[in-house]
Amino acid sequence: MKLDVHAHYLPDFYREALREHGLGQPDGFPYIPEWSAQEHVAFMDRLGIERSLLSVSSPGVRLGDIDLARAVNDAGRRAVVDHPGRFGLLASLPLPDVDEAIAEIGYCYDRLAVDGFVLLTNVGGTYVSDPSFAPVFRELGRRGARVLLHPTSPACWEHTSLGRPRPMIEFLFDTTRTVVDLVLNGTIAANPDLRLIVPHAGAVLPVLADRVRAFASLLEPNVDVLGDLRRLHFDLAGHVVARALDALLTLTTPDHLHYGSDWPFTPEPVAAAAAERIDDAGLALSTNTRRLFVGR
């Protein structure tokens, strides 16, 4: 039975808020997926998924002047309670407000018993690797938090996406951009107890890691680029077999890999085919995930 670290939930009020803010096609995705906890459990049963860690995907919880972090976190907790043993929760944070984000970390651990958190690669064009967010990473690191990094549209997407949905290409580069900056600015090294999960088989990191290391020898000679990247965890959401997985395994070890369905943004037939290919690879993904989340 699979443990799914990359699965999303969209409560009705959140879907409505997206529409009200003109986000009926979030990140260029053609529609807002339907979601209910009951249908999610049914999907899990069909794909042999024991437990899914729910998170809010892009465009996140900051919609204009409204922040929905507390509301979606409470809704996620209700799904966990109403379906014992089937869901966990990766809570959202009300960034860019650093003080409110740190307060929400405490609330989520103390009141909601969350399994970890989800962070978008950037919030309104400010990347989570920005020094202004360092106190949030220190608090997450102090608590030994498990954090799923999730891509969103880059600040310059109007010029780079060429009219196509940003999840196709832009998401992968935004993930890579963020992780590289977290490594080069020392955030990863400074928070050894933080457990960061990089999505989509590491995005473009396996291809660019050696190039980044070469530049780091000139720019940040004290940074161990490959060592820091090896410490990270990676989910296998998306089309990773056979090419992406092979490249990723040159960067990390099999015990740092975790299953991800990316449902409901990934349609069930596509998710089922991807899961079958991952199963054929014979990786002990559920064992890895249980080990990662032990104690939470």
Candidates 50, 24, 45, 58; CA nearest to 286 is 50
Q: Residues 59, 23: contact at Cβ < 8 Å?
A: yes
Residue 24 per-residue DSSP state: S
Whether the per-residue pLDDT at 266 is higher than 60: the answer is yes
Q: Which domain holds residue 24?
A: 2-292
Q: What is the mean pLDDT of residues 176-191?
A: 97
Average pLDDT (179-200) is 97
Q: What is the pLDDT of residues 70-111, one digit of tens each?
A: 999 999 999 999 999 999 999 999 999 999 999 999 999 999
Q: What percent of the chain has pLDDT over 90?
A: 93
Encoding tokens for residue 202? Answer: 């590491």
Evaluate whether 70 touches 93 at the Cβ level (below 8 Å).
Answer: no
Asked if residues 158 and 183 have their Cβ atoms less than 8 Å apart, the reply is no
Instruction: Determine the pLDDT at residue 77.
Output: 98
Distance between CA 230 and CA 209 in Å, rounded? Answer: 11
What phi and psi values does residue 50 have, to the nearest 5 degrees?
-75, -45
Tokens 């530049």, located at residue: 215
Judge whether 154 and 173 are in contact, CB under 8 Å.
yes
Say if residues 105 and 194 touch (Cβ distance below 8 Å).
Answer: no
Write out pLDDT tens, residues 37-48. Answer: 999 999 999 999
**Average pLDDT of 22-31?**
95
pLDDT at 86: 98
Tens of pLDDT, residue by residue over 106-127, are 999 999 999 999 999 999 999 9
CATH number of domain containing 40: 3.20.20.140
| Pairing mode, strands 122-123 and 62-63 | unpaired
DSSP 8-state code for residue 131 = G
Say if CB 8 and CB 55 are below 8 A apart.
yes
Mean pLDDT of 145-157: 96
Q: What is the mean pLDDT of residues 50-75?
A: 96
Contact by Cβ (8 Å): 152, 58: yes
Q: What pLDDT was estimated at residue 145?
A: 97
Q: How confident is the model at residue 296, as a pLDDT?
A: 46
**Per-residue buried b or exposed e for 69-106, using 16+ beta carbons within 10 Å of the residue's own CB:** bbbbbebbbebbeebeebbbbbbbbbbbbbeebbebbe
For 215, the token pair is: 């530049």
- Name 209's Cβ contacts closer than 8 Å, sequence gap at least 6: 225, 226, 229, 251
Hey, what are 107's tokens? 């609330």
Under 8 Å between Cβ of 241 and 268: no
d(CA 217, CA 153): 30
Q: How confident is the model at residue 294 (pLDDT cuts 50, 70, 90)?
A: confident
Q: Residue 295 pLDDT more than 80? A: no
For 165-177, write each residue's pLDDT tens digit: 999 999 999 999 9
Of 4-13, 54-63, 281-290, the poorest mean pLDDT is in 281-290
**Domain count across the chain:** 1
State residue 233's pLDDT score: 98
Structure tokens at 93: 């944070």
Ramachandran class of 127: left when φ > 0, alpha when ψ lies in -120 to 50, beta otherwise: beta
pLDDT per position as a tens digit, 229-252: 999 999 999 988 878 999 999 999
pLDDT of residue 225: 97
Using CA of residue 85, residue 270, residue 247, residue 222, what is the dihedral sign?
negative
CA-wise closest residue to 270 among 234, 235, 237: 237
* pTM attached to this predicted model: 0.96
Q: What pLDDT score does 72 carry? A: 98
